Amino acid sequence: MSISQLSRKNIQSLTPYQSARRLGGSGDVWLNANEYATSPDFDLTEGTFNRYPEPQPQAVIEGYAHYAGVSPKNVLVSRGGDESIELIIRAFCEPNDAILYCPPTYGMYAVSTDTCGIKTKTVPLTADFQLDLAEIKNNLEGVKVVFVCSPNNPTGNLIKRSDLLELLQITKDKVIVVVDEAYIEFCPEATFANELSNYPHLAIIRTLSKAFALAGLRCGFTLANAELIGVLQKVIAPYPLPVPVSDIATQALSPQGIQQMQERVAEVITLRADLQKNLENLPLVEKVFDSEANYLLFKCQDGQKVFKALWEQGIILRDQHKALGLQNCIRITIGTKEENQRVIEAISKL
Ligand SMILES: *Cc1c(COP(=O)(O)O)cnc(C)c1O
């Protein structure tokens, strides 16, 4: 018997998440992972490496709680928002439970669920990328966790607040509702953090990877009521955060760090408007979807041809051709002014 055959059945049939890095490519314009275009500059201030770190570093928890407008007891810090997704599934789902998500959306909900050997149910978003509440209601049997991404990756739109509130009503006392706010810094007024006191079954995912420009740090957060946070505390690794990570996260969450993040957001939003306008003017581009995040989804007559032609020129975007309902669509992260211009020139020459 091969070693692979010794692994769990659901792992044997698993395809790993096709992350931007795993898909490879070579070039000098990387607009496929919704990162910020340049790195902020930090120095380590903490030099004690012989001791284990604090399990939930107080400075990080207090810094994030203050930034998010919640109490420290409502915050869990983890290795990126991705770990938060997995913790919620591991903590709440029995082998016979299911999770529900609404494609096209972030791929990790399905990957983490498959890894745990738990069933997935999908209720596609409507044509305008909103929740199909009637279908969700019809499919809640056996569902323990519902994932909703807002702003949604890869479509860029917000999910209607009234729909999310209705979802929270119909799931009360039965189902955990996860609102993935990885991109909320680009539309902060849309957050559900202020709803936590009304909904004990609400969990919000946050990250330093996007607007905070720290994808390489691997630092994310769950916001929820203390009881739900307590459940996740039982399954998280004993020392999830390396000392250098909490050191830099603390600096990023200082008043100065937050201000720099907000300046970055303002800049990205300006560049997004320019890029959207310029894409809309290209004959090969059929449609550019409005976005509340740091990326744009656009549709071409032949999306794969455009994607491949740019890939060969070292301009790496994210092909969405295989995502549900997104044939011929490409997602582009907002880059620097120069990077965005390179993309426009490259497409206009095709
Ligand atoms: C990027 C992202 C995350 C989390 O990313 P981490 O780097 O693991 O913090 C979560 N959800 C969505 C929708 C994302 O795009």
- Residue 151 pLDDT level (bands cut at 50, 70, 90): very high
What is the residue extent of each domain of the chain? 3-38+257-348, 58-253
Query: What is the percent of the chain with per-residue pLDDT over 70, rounded to a whole number?
Result: 100
pLDDT per residue as tens digits for the range 30-73: 999 999 999 999 999 998 999 999 999 999 999 999 999 999 99
Contact 215 CB / ligand 1 (< 6 Å)? yes
pLDDT at 16: 78
Give the pLDDT confidence score for residue 115 in this predicted structure: 94
Query: Residue 25: is its pLDDT beyond 90?
Result: no
Pocket test for ligand 1, best of 19, 106, 208 (most atoms within 8 A of CB): 106
What CATH number labels 3-38+257-348? 3.90.1150.10
Report residue 17's pLDDT band, with 50, 70 and 90 as the boundaries.
confident
pLDDT, tens only, 256-311: 999 999 999 999 999 999 999 999 999 999 999 999 999 999 999 999 999 999 99
pLDDT at 19: 81
pLDDT score of 21 more than 80: no
Residue 331 sits at the vertex; the CA angle it makes with 330 and 334, to the nearest 5 degrees, is 135
Placement of tokens 């800049």 in the chain: 267
- Tens-place pLDDT, residues 171-219: 999 999 999 999 999 999 999 999 999 999 999 999 999 999 999 999 9
Q: Whose CA is nearest to atom 14 of ligand 1?
A: 182
Ligand 1 atom 11 nearest Cα: 182
Cβ of 182 closer than 6 Å to ligand 1, yes or no, is yes
**How do residues 317-333 score in pLDDT, each as one tens digit?**
999 999 999 999 999 99
In this prediction, residue 34 carries a pLDDT of 98
What CATH number is given for 58-253 in this structure? 3.40.640.10
For residue 18, pLDDT beyond 80: no
Q: Is the CB of 180 under 6 A from ligand 1?
A: yes
Q: Cα separation of 324 and 297, whole Å?
A: 14
pLDDT digits 0-9 by tens, 100-144: 999 999 999 999 999 999 999 999 999 999 999 999 999 999 999
Output the pLDDT for position 22: 80
184 lines ligand 1 (CB under 6 A): no
For ligand 1, pick from 109, 153, 155, 221 the residue to mutate: most ligand atoms within 8 Å of CB: 153
pLDDT in tens, 73-103: 999 999 999 999 999 999 999 999 999 999 9
Residue 117's pLDDT is 94
Contacts 24+ apart (CB under 8 A), 46-50: 46/243, 46/244, 46/246, 46/247, 48/243, 49/243
Place of tokens 């581009």: 285
Q: Average of pLDDT values for 243-260?
A: 98
Provide the sign of the torsion angle of the four alpha carbons 135, 138, 142, 146, taken in this order: positive
**What is residue 312's predicted lDDT score, i.e. its pLDDT?**
96
pTM metric for this prediction: 0.97
Helices (H), 93-225: 108-115, 133-138, 161-171
Contacts of 76 (CB under 8 A, 6+ apart): 56, 84, 87, 221, 222, 224, 229, 232, 233, 236
Instruction: Give the pLDDT score at 41.
Output: 95
Q: What is the pLDDT of residue 247?
A: 98
Instruction: Specify the ligand 1 atom closest to the Cα of 82.
Output: 8
